[in-house]
Amino acid sequence: MAKIIHLRKDCIGCNSCVENCPSMWKINEKDGKADLINSEKKGETFVKELPIELTEENEKAVKDCPVNIIKIFK
C-alpha cells in the first residue's frame, strides 16, 4: 500500500489538505497546524498508509499544499 507523509513542523495551517480530504486531515486547535489523522511520528515526519480509495483526494492535497510538505510514496 502507498504511504503518505507529512512534514508537520513546516505546516502553515492553510486548511487546503482538510478541504481535499477531511477523512485524513484535520486542523489541530492547539497550534493551528494540520494533523494527518492516526499517523505515526517518525523523526520530524508523520506517516500513514494511504487507502487506495483516498488516493485521488490526497494526490490533490499534495499538489495544493502551498509549502510542499505532503508526499506520497507508492
**Interstrand relation of 45-49 and 40-42 (parallel, antiparallel or unpaired):** antiparallel
* Interacting positions 5-64 with ligand SF4 (CB under 6 A): 11-17, 34
- Cβ pair 5, 70 in contact under 8 A: yes
Q: How far is the CB of 41 from ligand SF4 (least distance, A)?
A: 15
Which residue, chain included where needed, has cell 492547539? 30
Q: Which of 27, 67, 44 is nearest to 36 (CA)?
A: 27
Identify which of residues 2 and 62 has a Cβ nearer to ligand SF4 in the complex. Answer: 62
Which range in 39-47, 50-58, 66-74 contacts ligand SF4 by CB under 6 A? Answer: 66-74
Which residues lie near ligand SF4 (CB under 6 A)?
A: 11-17, 34, 65-67, 69-70
